[in-house]
Amino acid sequence: MADQIEWIPLSVFVFFFALVTVMGFMAARWKSGAVSEHLDEWGLGGRQFGTWVTWFLVGGDFYTAYTIIAVPALVYAVGAYGFFALPYTIIVYPFVFAVMPLLWKVAHSKGYVTAADVVHGTHDSRALEFVVALTGIVATMPYIALQLIGMGVVIKAMGLSGELPLIAAFVILALYTYSSGLRAPALIAFVKDIMIYIVVLVAVVVVPAKLGGYGAVFAAANDAFTAKGGDTGLILKPSQMLAFATLALGSALAAFMYPHTLTGVFASKSADTIRKNAILLPAYTLLLGLIALLGYMAHAAHIQVSSPNDVVPMLFKALFPSWFAGFAFSAIAIGALVPAAVMSIGAANLFTRNIWKSYVNPDITHAGEASVAKIASLVVKVGALAFILFLPTQYALDLQLLGGLWIMQILPALVFSLFTRWFRAEGLLLGWAAGIGWGSWTAWSNGLKPLATINFGGDSYTFYVGLGALILNIAVAAIATVIVTWLSRPAQRGAPARS
């Protein structure tokens, strides 16, 4: 990578960064409401976002900067297998359409702000509420750290060295998130998403034209994989198919369990807003599919990188004039700000509502909730920054991978009660523990790989650990529910309801 500062892309970058900074601070007064007086205002933007704002906001925080760096990097390195992100971000929408409007209705009617609020309200269990909140916070922290990595990659591509630019960018982000709450990323998401759409549409037209068309792009990638060998290629090896499908399904089920995606859901105006978004959000998935192909275009352009994460910045530097490369880098960096802000808000909401309010100050006022959440969001961001500055990058990647596995384990507690009240809190708690325990142990003992292999009737099957853990979780929850129901039957007569 060049160590020389590239002034033209850097100027473009500074311009757009300044623009969104001003927007971030002005956002406090957008769709007016006093952000400091109620957590619904700071943490959910006033629960008033309509179809378009929600489309930009959820699109902006679900398709993160790290995705734009990491998906093409994986596709560049291994080929078809990296494409699991595409079926994942398609099948997530039928799930969103069927489930999220019901969740929104519960949250809206009871004034819930977080997933753990919903779980506490429906199961009346402090323990279950606590583990759901803890899972959300712990799974989100490394995800924020990954956004910093995404931003760091493009800052490095502009020739800036050292950690100071990254720290400065993050401090500014922390300040306007503190003052404007969810309104800041919602407003900035408009800029971010439009920039990303421009970059990708230009890239998918111009790059193949320069490289001899899509046929040539795929052929170049195929040659690279033939030379490389192993589990790479333009289509999946038979042994990869189950892993591909279970990764897609597992990731889709986990996606809307995260605090940042649920914050987008709870902040919307109506259940119908969410339904319309399930129809409209796949536009971003089309974009993601095209972004993934940048990995193959890099092969056609003969890009050689030391770290696969540099594939996208190197490709833009090699094929575009420096001002457009700067525009693309700005888009990616701003693309890191939106999810990082929403993630820290989601985690702060969990901390405020389900840890601070539940255990420290149950009589907290609405204004008190807002100020605790604002401070919590700062702490979360400083934590993520420290993580990146003081620990090896690999830790953040490993933890984020485990985070996906962990966050999936709250699904039974959060979602099942929307359809059936049969499951008992004790069972769901045990199921959660079994899923987290088995999943973490399996991933750990496989060298932090998300895949596990079982042998069955002489054949071996490799699958995504997270999905295996979720199945175990549901089975344990069901068995424990049967046992607890049976045990508590004689006690039910005359005894007060369980707490």
Partner 1 sequence: MWILLLLPFVGLLWVPFYNFLEPSLFGFPFFYWYQLAWVPITSFLIWLVYRSRKPDEA
Binding part of the chain for partner 1, among 44-52, 93-101, 180-188, 422-430 by CB under 8 A, reads 93-101
The residue among 235 and 471 lying less far from partner 1, judged by its C-beta, is 235
Write the binding mask 207 to 226 for partner 1: x where contact by CB under 8 A, - elsewhere.
-x----xxxxxx--------
Binding part of the chain for partner 1, among 284-292, 303-311, 391-399, 404-412 by CB under 8 A, reads 284-292
Alpha-helical regions (H) of 158-281: 164-180, 183-211, 213-228, 241-255, 259-266, 271-280
Is the distance from CB of 453 to CB of 461 less than 8 angstroms? yes
Burial level of 321, CB count in 10 A (0-12/13-18/19+)?
A: exposed
**Interface with partner 1, residue 279, by CB under 8 A:** yes
- Residues near partner 1 (CB under 8 A), total: 43
**Interface with partner 1, residue 50, by CB under 8 A:** no
State in Å, rounded, how far the first CA of the chain is from the last one.
60
**Interface with partner 1, residue 102, by CB under 8 A:** no
**Interface with partner 1, residue 87, by CB under 8 A:** yes
Binding part of the chain for partner 1, among 57-65, 86-94, 355-363, 427-435 by CB under 8 A, reads 86-94
The residue among 276 and 424 lying less far from partner 1, judged by its C-beta, is 276
**Interface with partner 1, residue 271, by CB under 8 A:** yes
**Interface with partner 1, residue 74, by CB under 8 A:** no
The residue among 31 and 105 lying less far from partner 1, judged by its C-beta, is 105
**Interface with partner 1, residue 98, by CB under 8 A:** yes
The per-residue b/e assignment along 127-148, b for 16 or more CB within 10 angstroms, e otherwise, is: ebbbbbbbbbbebbbbbbbbbb
**Interface with partner 1, residue 94, by CB under 8 A:** yes
**Interface with partner 1, residue 30, by CB under 8 A:** no
Among 289, 368, 383, 437, the residue binding partner 1 under the rule CB under 8 A is 289
The residue among 283 and 360 lying less far from partner 1, judged by its C-beta, is 283
- 363 HSE (CA, 13 A, CB side): 0
What sign does the dihedral 267-269-274-280 (CA atoms) show?
A: negative
- Give residues 155-214 in contact with partner 1 (rule: CB under 8 A): 208, 213-214
**Interface with partner 1, residue 86, by CB under 8 A:** yes
Among 16, 244, 324, 463, the residue binding partner 1 under the rule CB under 8 A is 244
Q: Length of the chain in residues, anyone? A: 499
What distance in Å separates the CA atoms of residue 119 and residue 152, rounded to the nearest whole number?
37
Among 26, 90, 172, 484, the residue binding partner 1 under the rule CB under 8 A is 90
DSSP state of 82: G
* CA distances for 97 relative to 50, 93, 273, 279, angstroms: 16, 6, 10, 8
Binding part of the chain for partner 1, among 10-18, 21-29, 240-248, 455-463 by CB under 8 A, reads 240-248
Q: Residues near 215 by Cβ (< 8 Å), separated by ≥ 6?
A: none
Binding part of the chain for partner 1, among 81-89, 194-202, 302-310, 363-371 by CB under 8 A, reads 81-89
Instruction: Name the amino acid, one letter, at 497.
Output: A
Nearest to 410 by CA among 247, 251, 254, 249: 254
Closest approach, Cβ 291 to partner 1, in A, equals: 12
The residue among 403 and 450 lying less far from partner 1, judged by its C-beta, is 450
**Interface with partner 1, residue 249, by CB under 8 A:** yes
Q: Compute the C-alpha angle 172/58/353, nearest 5°.
A: 70
Q: Are strands 459-464 and 451-456 parallel, antiparallel or unpaired?
A: antiparallel
Among 167, 175, 234, 367, the residue binding partner 1 under the rule CB under 8 A is 234
The structure tokens listed for 369 are 């909730």
Among 93, 176, 258, 351, the residue binding partner 1 under the rule CB under 8 A is 93
- Give residues 291-330 in contact with partner 1 (rule: CB under 8 A): 293
The residue among 141 and 467 lying less far from partner 1, judged by its C-beta, is 467
**Interface with partner 1, residue 280, by CB under 8 A:** yes
Closest approach, Cβ 95 to partner 1, in A, equals: 8
Is the distance from CB of 104 to CB of 268 less than 8 angstroms? yes
Among 158, 236, 328, 476, the residue binding partner 1 under the rule CB under 8 A is 236
Closest approach, Cβ 427 to partner 1, in A, equals: 26
What distance in Å separates the CA atoms of residue 101 and residue 169, rounded to the nearest whole number?
35
**Interface with partner 1, residue 241, by CB under 8 A:** yes
Is the distance from CB of 346 to CB of 262 less than 8 angstroms? yes
Conformational region of residue 325, where left means phi above 0, alpha means psi within -120 to 50, and beta covers everything else = alpha
**Interface with partner 1, residue 471, by CB under 8 A:** no
The residue among 182 and 281 lying less far from partner 1, judged by its C-beta, is 281
Q: Residues near 481 by Cβ (< 8 Å), separated by ≥ 6?
A: 422, 423, 424, 426, 427, 428
Helix orientation angle between 51-62 and 282-300, rounded to the nearest 10 degrees: 40
Chain residues that interact with partner 1, rule: CB under 8 A: 80, 83, 86-87, 90-91, 93-94, 97-98, 101, 105, 108, 208, 213-218, 234-236, 241-242, 244-245, 248-249, 270-272, 275-276, 278-280, 282-283, 285-286, 289, 293
